[in-house]
Amino acid sequence: MNRLGICIGLSMAVICTVLISQPFESRGQLMDQLIAVPFEPSGQPMDGKALVAERCTSCHNIGRIERRFGQPAHFWESTVDRMLGKRNMLNDEELRSVLDYLANPNY
């Protein structure tokens, strides 16, 4: 098992343990707090390639992303928009960098 799988498994075990130990009424509030942890900006603007490597590959294999390089901007906008709905991982500036990178095969 790779490190990411181990980290995810351990994280889920901790979350489940915390949830089980909480009164039922407070579980919803606790889950809201756990899920709503945004990425903290590093202070340095990152280019699209670095952002994809850091943020997108936390859930997706880079090969899956690379197979779609050069798709039109509207394809990537709708795709990334769906992903942002699941996990708010990019601010507006980072989003623009990621979209520019993904839609430009000569980046």
DSSP class of residue 49 equals H
CB 68 within 8 A of CB 104: no
Going residue by residue through the chain (107 aa), what tens digit of pLDDT does each one get?
A: 577 777 677 777 777 676 566 565 454 555 555 544 455 555 666 789 999 998 888 888 889 888 888 889 899 999 998 888 777 788 889 999 999 999 987 76
Q: CA-CA distance, 31 to 64, in Å (whole number)?
A: 30
pLDDT in the model for residue 77: 92
Q: CA-CA distance, 12 to 1, in Å (whole number)?
A: 16
Stretch (H or E) spanning 6: helix 3-20
DSSP characters over 53-107: HHTGGGTS-HHHHHTTTT--HHHHHHHHHHHHHH-----HHHHHHHHHHHH-TT-
pLDDT in the model for residue 86: 76
Stretch (H or E) spanning 28: helix 24-35
